[in-house]
Chain A
């Protein structure tokens, strides 16, 4: 589904601030893969997501999504096939526009000069109701009035309204309180399962990294240092994972927000 070959990116080359964020990274995802990614601060997790989404052009290497080379495709065109959620719940929706207007943008229904129709509203209502947050009765309210959890759930709905080929979740529950985070994670799991979306998820929760999905990657220094799936992963504990990380990178996992339990 997603194939990344020899991807490299160096920021501020030739200056004192030179930083190699990604170094000769290779990754191959199968359709329906749900991959969790963990790694220390500055390991290149977010840079990898930005490269896949097209926020910047990589220095070398290629990115292929579902058989199509997207290395030089601009980000707004990639977003047709790639859904993305950030840690900040505010980033995914326009606060001064109503819920239905935000959904209308995300749904991609109708031409440039089309209005939101009654049929659109019915579909929005139905999909919002599935979130179980009562948002279906607040469709004409500005999104800015929603709580962080509600906004993140809405963003998830917007990102998956037309199921994308790839969903990238960058610690999307980290800024939410535990109960809301649990709820948003539940919605995420259901959505991904329902539409069989290939998913990449960065998390700082080691337990979650092993429990969710079918494959776990560990990143360090701009590359993947550990890639476990199947039988090996099923038997793994958090301390195994940490030990493996030490073997792979030659140092302890250093992430100021890491949750070991």
Chain B
């Protein structure tokens, strides 16, 4: 592999990773902060993509961004309403919304499951024409994505330091404490899910416009992919303040895409993406669990197979005494 190919791989991974990192940031808000596993993520991602595409095709590329975010926000509101006001279990609320969104998404896309944007003006083509005669012209898509992600990252980090942001963090940490601070956990859960889903919607919108097409399956598996990225990011940069952890989400998304892109390069078929993301999620959750149980397992092994696993510490000490 020559240097250019490597750089090319890096750039693809960076671009896709950054677009999907918005979904990772959304999970950072809902999963890490609010302690809610939002299973409507897949549907909401597609919703953002579909709304963004339809608005862009109708000739309003700039409007497609707020429209996609607003659509995501509405979806988040419904998920939150189901779990806080209608007694639906939080996992179930996400699944229900996800299923319902499938019909809504096809309806938004005018009854078809595929929209083509080859000749549509998107935010990316706008960036391309804006940068046409500058040295940065070749990197228009990457620059657009970097701008969007950087803006959202800064807003999210600043937001989490506000009183409302702190209340959302506290809701995941100790809802009793939120209530005794005269804040309603119902309110914080609703705001948190609205914001997180608006990021997911934005993420879908950008992916669709960069690929120049929307498929009804564009969001399937996004939750697991984003969760894998989140767990990678948390492992690498999970200690420290909110800014470091939030940047860790971007790093995790990039690393996930980089590994995947390299695997593709070594002839791994493209359809393996979702299996890979599932395995990463399982490993990222299982390994810390295994580590916490290791003393117990080591002791059992040393009792059952004393020759293979010589006991350390107490077991031998007991026999000698």
Q: How far does the Cβ of B299 sit from chain A's closest Cβ, in whole Å?
A: 28
Q: Within the complex, which residue of A74, A97, A115, A116 is in contact with B173, where a contact is CB–CB below 8 Å?
A: A97
In whole angstroms, what is the CA distance A158 to B183 when docked? 14
User: Is there contact, CB below 8 Å, between A75 and B179?
Assistant: yes
CB within 8 Å for A106 and B162 given contacts A92-B176, A95-B173, A97-B173: no
Q: How far does the Cβ of B245 sit from chain A's closest Cβ, in whole Å?
A: 11
The answer to the question of B174 belonging to the interface, with a C-beta cut-off of 8 Å to chain A, is: yes
Q: Which B residues are CB-close (under 8 A) to A110?
A: 163
User: Is there contact, CB below 8 Å, between B177 and A94?
Assistant: yes
B169, B177, B178: residue with the most chain A Cβ atoms closer than 10 Å: B177
The answer to the question of B311 belonging to the interface, with a C-beta cut-off of 8 Å to chain A, is: no
In whole angstroms, what is the CA distance A108 to B166 when docked? 12
The answer to the question of A93 belonging to the interface, with a C-beta cut-off of 8 Å to chain B, is: yes
In whole angstroms, what is the CA distance A234 to B179 when docked? 38
In whole angstroms, what is the CA distance A102 to B173 when docked? 11
The answer to the question of B292 belonging to the interface, with a C-beta cut-off of 8 Å to chain A, is: no
In whole angstroms, what is the CA distance A94 to B174 when docked? 5
User: Is there contact, CB below 8 Å, between A105 and B163?
Assistant: yes
Binds B, one of A20-28, A76-84, A203-211, A251-259: A76-84
In whole angstroms, what is the CA distance A146 to B162 when docked? 24
CB within 8 Å for A105 and B177 given contacts A79-B182, A112-B164: yes
Q: How far does the Cβ of A157 sit from chain B's closest Cβ, in whole Å?
A: 13
In whole angstroms, what is the CA distance A114 to B178 when docked? 17
The answer to the question of A119 belonging to the interface, with a C-beta cut-off of 8 Å to chain B, is: no
Q: Which B residues are CB-close (under 8 A) to A114?
A: 162-163
The answer to the question of A113 belonging to the interface, with a C-beta cut-off of 8 Å to chain B, is: yes
User: Is there contact, CB below 8 Å, between A111 and B163?
Assistant: yes
A76, A95, A102, A159: residue with the most chain B Cβ atoms closer than 10 Å: A76
The answer to the question of A91 belonging to the interface, with a C-beta cut-off of 8 Å to chain B, is: yes
Which residues of chain A from 61 to 100 have any CB-CB distance to chain B below 8 Å in the complex? 74-77, 79-80, 83-84, 91-97
User: Is there contact, CB below 8 Å, between B177 and A108?
Assistant: no
Which residues of chain B from 132 to 187 have any CB-CB distance to chain A below 8 Å in the complex? 161-164, 166-167, 169-170, 173-174, 176-185
The answer to the question of A170 belonging to the interface, with a C-beta cut-off of 8 Å to chain B, is: no
In whole angstroms, what is the CA distance A79 to B173 when docked? 18
Which residues of chain A from 28 to 56 have any CB-CB distance to chain B below 8 Å in the complex? none
Q: How far does the Cβ of A185 sit from chain B's closest Cβ, in whole Å?
A: 21
Report the tally of A-B residue pairs with Cβ distances under 8 A.
76
Q: Which A residues are CB-close (under 8 A) to B169?
A: 94, 96-97, 101
Closest B-chain residue to A82, C-beta based?
B180
Closest B-chain residue to A80, C-beta based?
B182
In whole angstroms, what is the CA distance A92 to B59 when docked? 53
Q: Which A residues are CB-close (under 8 A) to B170?
A: 94, 97, 101-102, 105
CB within 8 Å for A105 and B166 given contacts A92-B176, A92-B177, A115-B161: yes
Bitwise interface map of A from 94 to 134 toward B, beta carbon under 8 Å scored 1, else 0: 11110001101110101111111000000000000000000
B170, B180, B184: residue with the most chain A Cβ atoms closer than 10 Å: B180
Q: Which B residues are CB-close (under 8 A) to A108?
A: 181-182
Closest A-chain residue to B161, C-beta based?
A115
Q: Within the complex, which residue of A96, A106, A113, A115 is in contact with B181, where a contact is CB–CB below 8 Å?
A: A106
Closest B-chain residue to A109, C-beta based?
B163
CB within 8 Å for A79 and B162 given contacts A93-B174, A95-B173, A97-B169: no
Q: Within the complex, which residue of B161, B183, B185 is in contact with A105, where a contact is CB–CB below 8 Å?
A: B183
CB within 8 Å for A79 and B181 given contacts A91-B174, A95-B173, A116-B161: yes
User: Is there contact, CB below 8 Å, between A76 and B176?
Assistant: no
CB within 8 Å for A76 and B179 given contacts A96-B169, A112-B164, A115-B162: yes
User: Is there contact, CB below 8 Å, between A112 and B177?
Assistant: no
In whole angstroms, what is the CA distance A113 to B167 when docked? 11
Closest B-chain residue to A55, C-beta based?
B179
Which residues of chain B from 181 to 216 have any CB-CB distance to chain A below 8 Å in the complex? 181-185
In whole angstroms, what is the CA distance A113 to B158 when docked? 9
19 CB < 8 A contacts A-B: A75-B179, A77-B182, A79-B181, A80-B182, A84-B180, A91-B176, A92-B176, A92-B180, A101-B170, A102-B177, A105-B163, A105-B177, A106-B181, A110-B163, A112-B162, A112-B164, A113-B163, A113-B164, A158-B177
Nearest 5 CB-CB pairs, A to B? A94-B173, A112-B164, A94-B174, A105-B181, A94-B170
Q: Which residues of B contact A (CB under 8 A)?
A: 161-164, 166-167, 169-170, 173-174, 176-185
